[in-house]
Structure formats: C-alpha cells, structure tokens
Structure 1
Amino acid sequence: MSRRRAIIAAVLVGAAALLYGVSPLDLAPEILLGPAGLLDDAGVLIAAAVGIWKLLSGSRPAPAPAPPPEEQTRWEQKLPE
C-alpha cells in the first residue's frame, strides 16, 4: 500500500472510530449499562489506534517460512507389500 493510501486509510479508520465513540447508537448503550457501556467504545478506540499504528508504521507480518522440501509426502509414500 502506498504511503498516501495508508494515510487516507488511517484518517478514515480514526474518523469512523471517533464517530462510533460519540454516537448514541451502540452495541452496549451507556444509558442502559452505565459505565460498563463504555467498554465497547474503549475497545473500538483501542482497535482503531492499533490499526492506525500498523497502517502508518508500514509493518507487515513476516511471511511463514516454507516447509523443507521432501522427496515424498507422507501420503505419497508407498506402503510395504
């Protein structure tokens, strides 16, 4: 992803998280659950912060190492006759 697209994506993720945080429509509304209703808002904000950090740092997970080459796989081995 280009740097420009990463910045745009980070801004959109942040804006969406902030809109969710101030929105009266929630998965767990504060008016019904009191302080416990803030937990979903905190979770969304934390997830957005992690996502923005990953977008802007350019870090990508390392690819899994390839398995060692074998002449025959276990399924291809011939059974003794």
Structure 2
Amino acid sequence: MDTYTSPRKQYLMLKAILSFHEKSLAALQEDAPFSKLVKLPVREKIGRLKYVPEDETEAQYNAIVKETNEQIRALTEGGEQHA
C-alpha cells in the first residue's frame, strides 16, 4: 500500500490478503501442509495486485479470491499430496 494507490484498491488488496490468511489458517486446522500453503501460486498474484490497472482491480480481485479458494481446497481435500 502506498499513497499512489487508491483507497478502493488498497481495500481490495487488504481484503485479498486477509482472505488468503483466513483460508490458510482454516486449512492448517485441517492438517494442510504449511510448506505447500506458502508455495501456492495465488500468493504471487496477491502480491502483484498493486500493479494491476485501476479499472481491472475488482475483476482481478474476484479472480484471486476464486483461485485462493480452489488452491486451498485442493490441499485440504487431498488434491495435493501432503508433505
């Protein structure tokens, strides 16, 4: 976050981070491996949300939330081998 990012974009960025955090905590409670959670590809997309053009932010945020759900679900439902 910085002074060059709109408040709406900052809000969506923080919301994406918190969504990943909350879903990760729940996955850890279900014995998902931490080593795999920190390597999920969606983490990089969350980090790059700042660089998405303003008019694409909401669509990208929605895609990130969907991807977060899918990737974490794959870990907790056995779609990935536990490490």
Bigger RCO (CA 8 Å, 6+ sep)? 2
| Shared fold per TM-score greater than 0.5 | no
TM-score (normalizing by structure 2): 0.38
TM-score (normalizing by structure 1): 0.38
More helix as a share of residues: 2
Larger radius of gyration: 1
